[in-house]
Structure 1
Amino acid sequence: MALTEKQEVLVKESWEILKQNVPEYSLRLFLRIMEVYPDAKNMFSFLRDSDEIPQNNPNLQAHAVKVFRLTCESVVQLRECGAVAIAGSTMKRLGSVHLKIGVTDRHFDVVREALLRTIEEAVGEKWSEEMEGAWGEGYDRLAAAILAEMKVSDEAAPAAN
């Protein structure tokens, strides 16, 4: 099921607000994730052995921006494309990397909640149940696509050895 026309409008409207400060919102997203799930720090090689405050880590900042843009842009394009619009090679890499670091359904739930709270904070009074539903639906579609690719990567792994 693709987003409805109304959901698409809400997502695009809020994305315009988010685009005004992607570095700030993307970092807030990742700090929220680590606040809710502190062990997430260990999933990132550039944070694992670092005593540095995460928000001061330039590798985290760069990674956060990349993930935030990819997530938001894939949700924005969902209605137009009818599915998650991420190139096959990128999706394969996402599945492989997420599988390798041990990402589970629970991790996707943590990120979902952190994403929704970050968007809510960014858009302020424009936030509504409908907007939350639109972003939630879009994120769920992206998470399902990555989880499916993780399964493919997992099934292919024994054959590669």
Structure 2
Amino acid sequence: MAPPTVGTQAQTAPAMVPARVYSKDDEVLVKKSWDILKKDAQRNGINFFRKVFEIAPGAKSMYSFLRDSTIPFEENPKVKNHARYVFMMTGDAAVQLGEKGAYQVLDSKLQKLAATHINAGVTDDQFEIVKEAILYAIEMGVPELWSPELKSAWGDAYDMLAAAVKAEMHAQRAAAQ
């Protein structure tokens, strides 16, 4: 997949990130589940982050709002806000993939997202941890819909979003050298 065009300044024009084969069945499954999941995005986002930290406890150190916090994880307002934001962004992107056949991402937003991940020390292999956690949160959020087909549809959608972020991270790292 070709990475989105990236300039040295923040762009306002959207970059189209081409999608792999993403069937109409995948689109229907993702959209149907997302319509349910987004109604409780905060709880689903908390489940997602709980799973990330279960798989990779050291990941907590990547979040400034967790490093010195004595507030229990589920009660931390910054965790709640961030969890909801990340979960909503991922789900909205997956639905967009089905509707448009590609992710339409503003270069400036993609650049900021990549820069944030670089500054936190995120590596390519850590995207697999996130994928496992997002699939877990989806399974917990819509157990009545969970199936191998739904898992595959969401997994493919996540893989394409992660590829766009990683491509931008690679471009930024290369530009910095």
Quickly name the TM-score band, shorter chain normalised.
Answer: over 0.9
CA distance in 2, matches of 1:7, 1:62: 29
In the alignment of these two chains, the number of paired residues is 158
Instruction: Map 1:14-29 onto structure 2 (within 5 A).
Output: 14-29=33-48
Instruction: Give secondary structure in 2 for the equivalent of 1:85.
Output: strand
Q: What's the counterpart of residue 94 of structure 1?
A: 113
Contact residue 2 and residue 83 of structure 1 kept, 8 A? no
Aligned CA-pair RMSD: 1.1
1:122 and 2:144 are equivalent in the alignment:
no
CA distance in 1, matches of 2:57, 2:103: 29
**Deviation string for 1:33-68 (max 9, x for gaps)?**
111111110001111122332212111111111111
**Deviation string for 1:87-116 (max 9, x for gaps)?**
211100011111111111221111101111
Letter in structure 1 aligned against 2:167: A
Moved more, 135-144 or 44-53: 44-53
CA distance in 1, matches of 2:26, 2:56: 29
TM-score (norm 2): 0.85
CA distance in 2, matches of 1:35, 1:84: 30
TM-score (norm 1): 0.93
Unaligned runs of at least 5 residues, structure 1 = none
Contact residue 2 and residue 79 of structure 1 kept, 8 A? no
Percent of counterpart pairs with the same letter? 43
Letter in structure 1 aligned against 2:153: A
Moved more, 49-58 or 105-114: 49-58
**Deviation string for 1:94-148 (max 9, x for gaps)?**
1111111111122111110111111111111211111100000000001000000
Q: What's the counterpart of residue 59 of structure 2?
A: 40
Q: As a proportion of its length, which structure holds more strand? A: 2
| Shift in Å, 1:79 | 2.5
Q: Once superposed, which parts of structure 1, at least 4 consecutive aligned residues long, lie more than 3 Å away?
A: none
